[in-house]
Structure 1
């Protein structure tokens, strides 16, 4: 049976892989686990693994080159999110918040500003720890994105 949609996971640091596998199976999704190194993934016919060459953007490049309007990309990487959105993919962060075309420009600009501040030695606070509420919000957001995509 053909999958209804494809989910691409920017997997090296993704804390919600198991949740993606469960939701993806429920929604007849093909899931690509994309990483720079081999990761343990369940041996299921709908889960594929792509190990790309070592390099800072290799996984991002593979995902961006393959996603489209019938895809959901899971990433915390703002520049990958921007590229996936250009391909009309739905893009979710692991905490369940969506990247959208309306907000991606501001997110890219903020990222550049923060990078510039860090390069001057400015001490910046890190991201909040990943919580159970983030995991729950992600599960709901992924389920809703799958339902919406299958209906279109």
Structure 2
């Protein structure tokens, strides 16, 4: 089991929570981004730097993610792709994506994209709060407690 992190948009506090949890539970965590990341030295933490370009990190994660893995990302299409492979997915606030609800989330995302493209300002998500941080940490701990470790994949 590997935790895959869409690291380009990952808040630093979420990255720190993942690093600590991965080290504590001896779980592989792979951070994929289009830039180098500073991660603590650990055999359980790895980063993959991909080239610049639209969705390059997402494509790499979708290619490597397997059934039983966990994706941490705010990207709904990427979540849909890994759910289809049998992986689990949560956003940076700890809200789980589900095969039962992902189609509706994709539809809403596309609708909001169309609104923004037509010039309607929809605002963004609220600032990341202490409650969001705690909810993410709790969700990650729950997920890790229910999944056996396979160690780091090469």
- Report 1:26-65 matches (<5 A): 26-65=24-63
Alpha-carbon deviation of 1:70?
2.3
- 1:140 matched to 2:138? The reply is yes
User: Which one has more relative contact order, counting CA pairs under 8 Å at least 6 apart?
Assistant: 2
- Equivalenced residue count is 147
Aligned CA-pair RMSD: 1.1
Divergent runs of 4+, >3 A: none
User: Where does structure 1 lack aligned partners over 5 or more consecutive residues?
Assistant: none
Q: Distance in 2 between matches of 1:139 and 1:37?
A: 25
Q: Name 2:152's counterpart in structure 1.
A: none
Q: Which runs of 5+ in 2 are unaligned?
A: 150-154
**Which residue of structure 1 lines up, in the alignment, with residue 2 of structure 2?**
6
Per-residue deviation, residues 60-105 of structure 1 (Å, max 9, x unmatched): 0111111112211100000111111011111011101100101100
Find the residue that maps to 1:25 and give its secondary structure.
helix
Contact 2:32–2:57, Cα closer than 8 Å, also in 1: yes
Task: Work out which of the residue numbers 120, 124, 127 in structure 1 matches 2:125.
Answer: 127
SS of match in other structure, 1:128: coil
Within 1, Cα distance between the matches of 2:123 and 2:31? Answer: 30
TM-score normalized by the length of structure 1: 0.93
Asked whether the equivalents of residues 23 and 42 of structure 2 are also in contact (C-alpha less than 8 Å), the reply is no
- In the superposition, the TM-score normalised over structure 2's length comes to 0.92
**Partner residue, 1:150:** 148
CA distance in 1, matches of 2:146, 2:57: 26
